[in-house]
């Protein structure tokens, strides 16, 4: 079974631009969660989607948004990029059911904002 796939692996953008990251979950997984990882803040939860609906949201500004498609693939969008948005963005998928919610992570997309 293929793992969680994130594309692209690396991105370089400039301030003010917008970016879209993609995540393909493990087949059969209906939940996709997004995290931002930085050396200073560690792993911070962005949001979780389940069956095309945002089920949970972390404490990030509205510039960070996401969506999930009917095939469970998810995208995350960041608008008006700031230097502080430079980070490794990790996606995790899970079955999404109670007691079966072990999260499996992709390799991440490393975003650099110049």
Sites of contact with other proteins (CB under 8 A): 4, 6, 31, 33, 35, 42-43, 45, 48, 50, 55-56, 90, 92, 96-99, 101-108
Residue 33 or 85 having the CB closest to other proteins: 33
Which tokens hold the place of 61?
A: 């500004």
Residue 14 or 38 having the CB closest to other proteins: 38
Distance from C-alpha of 36 to C-alpha of 44, rounded to nearest angstrom: 5
In this structure, are strands 74-78 and 19-24 parallel, antiparallel, or unpaired? antiparallel
**At its nearest, how many Å lie between other proteins and the CB of residue 101?**
6
Residue 30 or 79 having the CB closest to other proteins: 30
Distance from C-alpha of 96 to C-alpha of 8, rounded to nearest angstrom: 25
């Amino acid at each position: 079974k293929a793992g969680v796939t994130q594309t692209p692996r690396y991105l370089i953008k400039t301030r003010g631009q917008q970016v879209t990251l993609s995540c393909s979950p493990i087949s059969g997984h209906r939940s996709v969660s997004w995290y931002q990882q930085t050396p200073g803040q560690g792993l911070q939860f962005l949001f979780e989607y389940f069956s095309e609906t945002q089920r949970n949201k972390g404490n990030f500004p509205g510039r960070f948004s996401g969506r999930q498609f009917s095939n469970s693939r998810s995208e995350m969008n960041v608008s008006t990029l700031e230097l502080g948005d430079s980070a490794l963005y990790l996606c995790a998928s899970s079955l999404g059911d109670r007691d079966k919610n072990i999260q499996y992570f992709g390799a991440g997309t490393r975003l650099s904002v110049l």
